[in-house]
Amino acid sequence: AQSVTQLGSHVSVSEGALVLLRCNYSSSVPPYLFWYVQYPNQGLQLLLKYTTGATLVKGINGFEAEFKKSETSFHLTKPSAHMSDAAEYFCAVSEGGYSTLTFGKGTMLLVSP
């Protein structure tokens, strides 16, 4: 079985500060890992994904994430937060392809001026 744990239901940063959203996973096979962003009353938008190969993955809007197998982590970072980054972020895992996506509980990112 697969699972995802996102540490912190809310993360607050100032505009221009580093964004770090934490995600740990468990999977019985090499995982596919994803970060999605959800704006209020909208569906999910894919930020980035890791399947195989390079462990540092770059996504849209300046976000990136690093797959660390030894730590079973896939933390999301952005060097400088922007007000428009305020949204809810979901980490997800699948055991290869799209057998099933399992989502974490989400982390709300709050950005203050």
Partner 1 sequence: GAVVSQHPSWVICKSGTSVKIECRSLDFQATTMFWYRQFPKQSLMLMATSNEGSKATYEQGVEKDKFLINHASLTLSTLTVTSAHPEDSSFYICSASFGTDSQETQYFGPGTRLLVL
Beta bridge partners of 64: 58, 77
- Identity of the residue, 7 or 103, whose beta carbon is nearer to partner 1 in the bound complex: 103
- Identity of the residue, 43 or 113, whose beta carbon is nearer to partner 1 in the bound complex: 43
Q: How far is the CB of 72 from partner 1 (least distance, A)?
A: 19
Rounded to whole angstroms, how far apart are CA atoms 15 and 91? 22
Q: What tokens appear for 41 in the block?
A: 């009353």
Rounded to whole angstroms, how far apart are CA atoms 50 and 23? 13
- Identity of the residue, 85 or 106, whose beta carbon is nearer to partner 1 in the bound complex: 106
Amino acid present at 52 = T
Rounded to whole angstroms, how far apart are CA atoms 50 and 5? 17
Q: What tokens appear for 85 in the block?
A: 């980054």
Length of the chain: 113
Site of interaction with partner 1 (CB under 8 A): 32, 36, 41-46, 49, 51-52, 90, 97-98, 100-106
- Identity of the residue, 70 or 98, whose beta carbon is nearer to partner 1 in the bound complex: 98
